[in-house]
Amino acid sequence: MLRPAVGSVELRDEEQEEEGEEELRDGGVPFFVNRGGLPVDEETWERMWRHVARIHPDGDAVGKEIRGAADLPKIPTPSVPTYQPATATPQRLEAIQNSLTNNMPGVERFPLSFQSQFSGNHFHHIVLGVHSGGRFGALGISRRDDLMFKALEFRTLTDLVQEFEGAYRGYWHTLRKVRIGQYVSHDAHSVEQIEWKHSVLDVDKMTKEELRRELERHTRDMRLKIGKPAPPSPTKDRRNSMGSPLRGPGSPIRRISRIERRPSGEKKVLEPKSAADMNGYQIRV
């Protein structure tokens, strides 16, 4: 008697899954647009138009009007900016707001993210902090002009963060947290991981003086990183020399505990080994 009940439950679940898949195919719910990659394939385009027809008040009419129009304006495509040798760094940064900056060794980059609160909801935003010539600025993308690009004119990191905080206040957002990473390497082949959250600051729980001290400390940490060589890219010889070939990938690496460590002034007395002891060793390859 239990078998039909279990079967009916499974059948009902399958029907619900099929209905959900059909709803996805019809465009009735939000979906990932670029799942098939770029450029967007024909199937994804049709799915997008079906979604528009379902949610738009004019239904299919709006899609037919747009798709049948022959005089739509051409969408501008940004081009990679070019510079003259004498172009100053601030002008370069402003020109490449929509490009990046890896080929500019005189500009240090670091992640700068914010968590704000409005009407009980939390929002996250990240920009690329830049430092050059003793001044701070930022590059980024946002719907708000004052929450992305910041000209290279702020004397300290504190001034830059306070500028963003004031912009958030203008939109009735309360800035809760600021996360700041370390400088990002200019080496395109570096295996060094990007440090996104070297400092996490609870802005709403700190006084202005405490915030200033923490941001100055972070600035010193970033300066100390400049000049330190980045970890080299792993070569074939280096990979072959790492670890013992007998140790499997899941085997733990043995670490010396504090009890096993000897004081630096204590010397270990080597005792001569007998022939019997020496015969006990085996060389494993």
Q: Which amino acid belongs to residue 167?
A: A
Would the pLDDT of 214 be above 90?
A: yes
CB 105 within 8 A of CB 158: no
Beta bridge partners of 108: 131
Look over the chain and give the mean of its residue pLDDT values, rounded to a whole number: 75
Would the pLDDT of 253 be above 60?
A: no
- Measure Cα distances from 236 to 43, 193, 230, 240, 249 in Å: 43, 20, 18, 6, 18
Q: In the chain, pLDDT over 70 holds for what percent of residues? A: 65
What phi, psi does 209 have (nearest 5°)? -70, -40
Q: In 3-state terms, what secondary structure has residue 112? A: strand
- pLDDT tens sequence across 222-233: 988 875 655 555
For the chain, how are helix, strand and coil distributed in percent, rounded to 5?
35, 15, 45
Return the closest-CA partner of residue 124 out of 111, 113, 137: 113
Question: 162 pLDDT band (50/70/90 cuts)?
Answer: very high
Would the pLDDT of 208 be above 80?
A: yes
Pull the structure tokens for residue 170.
């203008």
Q: What is the pTM of this model?
A: 0.52
Pull the structure tokens for residue 186.
């200019």
- pLDDT tens sequence across 93-113: 877 765 687 778 889 999 999
The domain ranges of the chain are: 34-68, 89-226
Choice among 121-130, 144-153, 156-165, 236-245 with the minimum mean pLDDT: 236-245
Beta bridge partners of 125: 114
